[in-house]
Amino acid sequence: MAHRTEFYLYKRKKKNGSYWYVCYLDKESGKQMNAKSIDVLKERLGIGEFRAVTRRDEAVIIAKKALDSGLIFSSEADRPFIDYCIDFWDYENSPYIRARNAAKADSIGKEYAHNMRFFLRKHVEPHIAPKLKLINVQTRHLDNVISEIKEESGLASGTMQLISLSFTLPLKEAYRRGIIKENPALKMLKITRVEKERGCFSYDECISILSYLKAHEKEIYPSYYLAIVLAMLTGMRSGEVRALNIRDIEKSSYNKLWKINIAHSISPYSGLKGTKGKYQRSALIPEELKDALFLNADSSGLALPSRGGGYISSPTLRSIFYSLLDELGITEDVRKERNLTFHSLRHSFSTIGRDKNIAQEDRMAVLGHRSKEVNDRYTHISDETLLRVFSITDDLFSRLWSAEKSADS
């Protein structure tokens, strides 16, 4: 009798190398099952240190051990709860994520899925019995996890809600698919979300930051210098600033004003992607800033390249910005007390606009914070809207520019 193939292996190329994957064949139908990462199976089996498998013979051994251990064909309900949740957020292989993104493109991004897996491994897994099966999960298990995490880490309520979602959504889907007969998450104690007030720089502090940047322009690598200026003068997010390409900058209908079309963002795991909320928007900048960005761009058009090429890093940008604040007397203790971050430049831009009596709808349209009502009204943002919001940029930049001219004369 001919031996029936149980699985087959193949290599999948990714940005940082090639990795082995295995496709098992269903015992009854012979149909191909979803691909599984050999490295993930190795980790689940607890085989040695976690390093990428490079040899085919090693991949075969791991695939066979996973099969023999019952890891592959055991009932989903009998699987360890934590393993089920971690696989649920496997961006490349999760049926749930695939279905959601097929129904609506980019419903669940790679970065979001990665963060959910991070929450599970870092916060949830240490508080769940490794052998607790999905079918045996009870509400008390879930309440205990949240209670222990909160007591141990003191995380903000918003983060706690995300951690909770990392396992409650997989449970909801397991119930919907009939894998479990009851959803224990439905009776969990609710997490009350208490928002900490967002930090914001005052108008005078914004002027001080710009003045410091200009005074120390030659000491700061140009890409980081321009990133801080750009974030303050446009309200762009860090990922949007770092992803900016000069192809996204075009002449506006106003003399000496240029339009940035904000359509992309960069993140560690998703790479180049759309902006948060998927809204493409625009902002005006003065010609002097446009010239500086064009002069700084690399051969690919990246406006703010790093020293070694590619995108500048978020941690380095944040570190340089915090060092600048220290020099201005805004120490780490003050930052934490006031909840000030690089993202606070965005909130400062909006707050200054409010103080200048710029309509909230205009500010929201340029910043990309759109309710359904605002989105309906601002499907195509007019140049007049951009010009009204540009008064924030013009105020900050012109004061700095006039100060420079006075100093030069």
**25 CB-near residues (< 8 Å, 6+ apart):** 4, 5, 6, 7, 31, 32, 33
How far is 257 from 19, CA to CA, in rounded Å? 49
In which band, very low, low, confident or very high, does the pLDDT at 403 lie, cut at 50, 70 and 90?
A: very low
In which band, very low, low, confident or very high, does the pLDDT at 2 lie, cut at 50, 70 and 90?
A: very low
In which band, very low, low, confident or very high, does the pLDDT at 108 lie, cut at 50, 70 and 90?
A: confident
In angstroms, what CA-CA distances link 53 with 277, 321, 388?
A: 37, 40, 57
**Torsion angle defined by CA atoms of residues 272, 166, 161 and 150, in that order, rounded to the nearest 10 degrees:** -120
Identify whether the C-beta of residue 158 lies closer than 8 Å to the C-beta of residue 195.
yes
Q: What is the pLDDT of residues 113-124, one digit of tens each?
A: 999 999 999 999
pTM, to two decimals:
0.67
**259 CB-near residues (< 8 Å, 6+ apart):** 249, 250, 251, 252, 282, 283, 284, 285, 386
Identify whether the C-beta of residue 59 lies closer than 8 Å to the C-beta of residue 66.
no
DSSP H or E run through 389: helix 383-408
Distance from CA of residue 292 to its chain's centroid? 28
CA-based nearest residue to 206, from 358, 367, 350, 333: 350
DSSP H or E run through 151: helix 139-153
Mean pLDDT for the chain overall: 85
3-state secondary structure of 23: strand
Q: Which residue type occupies 129?
A: A
Q: What is the pLDDT of residues 61-98, one digit of tens each?
A: 999 988 887 777 667 888 899 999 999 999 988 999 99
Q: What is the pLDDT of residues 354-402, one digit of tens each?
A: 888 877 777 776 676 655 444 444 344 566 777 777 888 888 887 665 5
How far is 221 from 313, CA to CA, in rounded Å? 13
Q: What is the pLDDT of residues 305-337, one digit of tens each?
A: 999 889 999 999 999 999 999 999 999 999 999
